[in-house]
Amino acid sequence: MGEPHDWDGVLGLYARLERNEPIELNTDVLDLCRRVARDVAVNHDEAERALLTQVGAETLVREMRRRIFEGSRRLSRALVDSARHKRAGDVARARAVLDGVLAVEVVPLYREQAQIALDYVDEPEDVDDPED
């Protein structure tokens, strides 16, 4: 995966588009888009085709931002909901919430985080011992 700041770079490009500012398709921007497209599971050939035109590149930036934003929100909600269900003793529902994320999420980082949470859903909660 690319560096964490790579996603910030795409979010910056998206912000420019939202302000109706053009993005310059220079080597740095094209490289950034290629790295992040790979990070957010955009098909290589689709990304390369998109980067051939200004409109295509703008569409790609919007799609990458959508995947970053929606995936982050989906994962965050699922982690909170899963933990809440687990604390309530409903491990099956805690698992189901995370399975739901894995059923729709395409961004590898978010899938990995959901899988890690799922792997530990059966583990007992850490409880502070009042006698410590």
CB atoms < 10 A from the CB of 98, how many? Answer: 24
Q: For the segment 62-120, what is each residue's pLDDT rounded down to a tens digit?
A: 999 999 999 999 999 999 999 999 999 999 999 999 999 999 999 999 999 999 999 99
What integer pLDDT is reported at residue 8 of this predicted model?
A: 95
Considering only residues 123 and 71, tell me which one the structure prediction assigns the higher pLDDT. Answer: 71
What integer pLDDT is reported at residue 3 of this predicted model?
A: 53
**Cα 95 to Cα 85: distance, rounded to the nearest angstrom:** 9
What integer pLDDT is reported at residue 122 of this predicted model?
A: 85
pLDDT reading at 21 higher than 50 = yes
Query: pTM to 2 decimals?
Result: 0.86
Q: How confident is the model at residue 132 (pLDDT cuts 50, 70, 90)?
A: very low
Q: Burial, 7: exposed, middle or buried (Cβ in 10 Å; 0-12, 13-18, 19+)?
A: buried
CA distances to 34, 47, 98, 106 from 51, in Å: 9, 6, 34, 21
Calculate the CA 108 to chain-centre distance. Answer: 7
Residue partners of 35: CB distance under 8 A and separation at least 6 = 2, 6
Domain assignments of the chain as residue spans, ordered by start: 4-119
